[in-house]
Amino acid sequence: MYNGYTLGKRIFKIRIVSTTHNHLTLWHSIERSIGYYASSLEFGFGFLQYFIDYNRRTVHDRIAETIVIKIKKLSVLSK
């Protein structure tokens, strides 16, 4: 992941940003990975929270204190 993007996120024009820091750290990525596991342990309810929450945050977003945003235009060199 580079600057909140993976290849799939670039294709879908979305980005992960931290709600508490200026940039994502390796720890944010680890917390999100652990959060995916926690969401699946709840029989998928952690993923269904996307449709319930006002900001469309799921369990792994809350654990890692991140949010997924849509981007309007990708810059060639993101800084």
What span, in angstroms and rounded, lies between the C-alpha atoms of 70 and 30?
A: 22
Higher per-residue pLDDT: 51 or 4: 51
CA distances (Å), origin 27, targets 1, 4, 24, 41, 71: 12, 13, 8, 21, 23
Would you say residue 3 has pLDDT above 70? no
pLDDT in tens, 11-37: 888 888 888 888 888 888 888 888 888
pLDDT in tens, 39-71: 787 777 777 777 887 878 888 888 888 888 888
pLDDT at 64: 85
pLDDT at 78: 52
